[in-house]
Amino acid sequence: NAGVTQTPKFRVLKTGQSMTLLCAQDMNHEYMYWYRQDPGMGLRLIHYSVGEGTTAKGEVPDGYNVSRLKKQNFLLGLESAAPSQTSVYFCASRTIYSGSKSIYGYTFGSGTRLTVV
């Protein structure tokens, strides 16, 4: 099925370890986003990308890096994990083209649950 796929779905890290979360979309969307979800805080934007090779900081970028080397993939990296990064991470994508079926149609992945101990 077309959509946004996130890997892994679950991960436990020790403080100081590094890891990369992968987001892949097969809808040829231009825009991609990484959010983190914490109880009582909704979803907060970490980084986003408006096209291949471009990235920008969101609301809570500290401690994270991203890369968009291919249009379909958006990677989120944690260089040195901290307990404060325990969260559920969501990737989303959308097209820039308006139209009855796609205008502002964000598609979300199913999330990655990360625990840092």
Partner 1 sequence: AQSVTQLGSHVSVSEGALVLLRCNYSSSVPPYLFWYVQYPNQGLQLLLKYTSAATLVKGINGFEAEFKKSETSFHLTKPSAHMSDAAEYFCAVSQGEYGNKLVFGAGTILRVKS
Residues that bind partner 1 (CB under 8 A): 31, 33, 35, 40-45, 48, 50, 56, 58, 90, 92, 94, 103-106, 108-111
Do 19 and 81 touch, CB atoms closer than 8 A? Answer: yes
- Strand partners for 57: 47
- Between 50 and 82, name the residue whose CB sits nearer to partner 1: 50
CB of 71 to partner 1, least distance (A): 16
CB of 84 to partner 1, least distance (A): 18
CB of 15 to partner 1, least distance (A): 25
- Between 56 and 117, name the residue whose CB sits nearer to partner 1: 56
Residue corresponding to tokens 């989303």: 92
Return the CA Rg of the chain.
Answer: 14
- Between 11 and 44, name the residue whose CB sits nearer to partner 1: 44
- Tell me the CA distances in angstroms from 43 to 58, 100, 108, one per residue in order: 12, 26, 12
The SS3 call for residue 50 is strand
